[in-house]
A and B are shown apart, each in its own frame.
Chain A
Amino acid sequence: MLIGKPSDINPSDITPQEIFHRRRDIIKAAGLGAIILANGGLNPAALAAEIAHKPKIPGFRKTTYGDSEKLTPYEDVTTYNNFYEFGTSKENPAANSALFNPSPWSISIEGEVSKPRKISLEELLKLAPLEERIYRMRCVEGWSMVIPWVGLPLSALIKWAEPHGNAKFIEFISMADPNTMPGVRAPLLDWPYLEGLRIDEAMNPLTILAVGLYGEQLQNQNGAPVRLVVPWKYGFKGGKSLVRIRFVEKMPQTTWMRAGPKEYGFYANVNPEVEHPRWSQASERRIGGGLFSRRVPTQMFNGYAEQVGQLYSGMDLRKHF
């Protein structure tokens, strides 16, 4: 085999780094490609076949949360995602997240706490026993899934961090790495992605930090290695691939509040009576039901009113949407 001399490569033939990194976007922008990709590729289900399973999580305990619900199939949970850091179509996160490496990982605990320091994923996992929680997840776009998460109550981390009395809110900040997250290279949202909870919402037993689903470690497209899950709120409240958790006194301005202040509020509680300004929230399409499944009515607080309704007593939920 002949090995070419370095001079065989004309400098002008080398793809500029910027173009190389943006190659997918560039191909996408090209005419017919744009149409085919807008249609989910030639075969949208082909992506599911490419998803390799993740290592099993040992020794988590089952719980009774949502155990009567029919689970959304693993291949749907891992190929139909909103994770704009990897692109804005539902298939992008599964297709574009291979370069992202969620290990090693640590979260920086900041703000009004006695322990402002980094906590590694390994340390985090020791704060409380891991549990499986089967939760409904309702996306603000009008679809929903039932996902068996594996995680631990967020309250365990909050207690560990020892927040000060003036810590009224918590900010959750996601990874934003332009080298491994192609979506971050476009200023579509104000990166890094920031979400927030009131401290009593964060302490509610339903709120968890998830590290797995279906008994396996999280896929990159699902927010590996650790993400927030707040089942009575719209899905976008669950920040993915968390790198910073900050305790603050004032209500955070979240990414979606900044992107669309009339459409996305701080609370974002699932509420069939309060419409999105552009579409109805009265019903939802369950993913995994197939072509002929009907929409199901959306429930107040996504069906978790009994556990969380008291957090909002006396509040006008139309105003605090």
Chain B
Amino acid sequence: MALSKQTQSQIKRSLFIIALLPLIRLIWLGSQDQLGANPVEFITHSTGTWALVALLLSLAVTPMHRLLGLNWVIPLRRMLGLYMFFYASLHFLTYLWLDHWFDWPEISQDILKHPYVLVGFLAFILSIPLAVTSNDGMVRKLKHRWKQLHRLVYPIAILVVLHYVWLVKKDISQPLIYAGILTILLGCRLMYQKRLKT
């Protein structure tokens, strides 16, 4: 299915706005003092959740293209990836600032001693080179190595889901939903890789 250039850019613009809604909602709720009993936790959970959602949507693009033949989704992948980085940055900043007030000794201890914090931190660090090399210039410059580098998104996604599973006290039903979706998305890739070989 081929869409006109105009429709393509309309879809892109719409996605840009839709993906900003979670942030707009947080700002609006914050300005109304409506973030609930534990606003820091609320912002942390919200930005973390939307980073994960953007990440999974970006990983859904290739299967949608290869298995369902949807071409128009391909140009959305970069924006979804960048939104993942955007919400992950807000998530990390909330942790550094509103939760720990840049208390570096406390923060470094927290990262080193607690596996769920460590895997979240690693996922964020690993996603920095992907965000930095996301523009067309870098794609051209890095050539085939660009693709290799951006395969980092797979370990990042696994670390992010682990981060979620490990932080929950007992009820892991929510993180398991995301883990299930990630498994399907990674499974799709194994499937069409196998198909290419045979």
Contact = CB atoms under 8 A, between A and B. Distances in A.
B53 interface: yes
Interface in A1-54: 29, 34-35, 38-40, 42-46
A233 B33 CA distance: 31
Interface in B1-58: 22, 25, 29-30, 32-43, 45-46, 49-50, 53
A125 interface: no
A98 interface: no
B40 A285 contact: yes
Contacts of A295: 99-100
Given A282-B106, A291-B43, 11 more contacts: A39-B22, A39-B42, A44-B36, A45-B36, A80-B38, A90-B38, A260-B170, A278-B166, A280-B109, A280-B114, A290-B39
A278 B35 contact: no
B98 A79 contact: no
Contacts of B29: 43-45
A189 interface: yes
Contacts of B129: none
A76 interface: yes
Interface in A171-213: 188-189
Nearest to B167: A278
B46 A291 contact: no
B174 A189 contact: no
A137 B163 CA distance: 27
Interface of A: 29, 34-35, 38-40, 42-46, 75-76, 79-80, 84, 88, 90-91, 141, 143, 188-189, 259-260, 275, 278-280, 282-283, 285, 287-288, 290-292, 294-295
A34 B174 contact: yes
Contacts of B113: 275, 280
Given A141-B169, A278-B116, A35 B38 contact: no
Contacts of A84: 170-171
Contacts of A141: 169
Contacts of B35: 44-45, 291
- Size bracket, chain B contacts: 35 or more
Contacts of A280: 109-110, 113-114
A35 B87 CA distance: 15
8 contacts: A40-B36, A40-B46, A46-B34, A80-B37, A84-B170, A288-B37, A291-B43, A292-B98
Given A38-B45, A88-B171, A278-B166, A43 B34 contact: yes
Given A35-B53, A291-B98, A278 B115 contact: yes
B101 interface: yes
A295 B98 CA distance: 9
A294 B109 CA distance: 18
Interface in B87-126: 98-101, 106, 109-110, 113-116
A34 B101 contact: no
A46 B37 CA distance: 11
A80 B36 contact: yes
Contacts of B74: none
Given A38-B49, A278-B116, A280-B110, A188 B170 contact: yes
A39 B46 contact: yes
B40 A79 contact: no
Contacts of A29: 177
A285 B38 CA distance: 8
Interface in B148-189: 166-167, 169-171, 174, 177
**CB-CB nearest 4 A-B residue pairs:** A44-B36, A80-B37, A88-B171, A76-B37
- Interface-centre pick from B37, B50, B53, B114 (highest chain A CB count, 10 A): B37
A143 B166 CA distance: 18
A42 to B, nearest CB: 8
A125 B22 CA distance: 49
A3 B139 CA distance: 69
Nearest to B22: A39
Contact of B114 (A38, A75, A279): A279
Contacts of A79: 36-37
Contacts of B116: 278-279
Contacts of A34: 174, 177
A238 B41 CA distance: 23
A280 B114 CA distance: 8
A274 to B, nearest CB: 13
B171 A188 contact: yes
A85 B100 CA distance: 32
A88 B173 CA distance: 10
A278 B36 contact: no
A39 B45 contact: yes
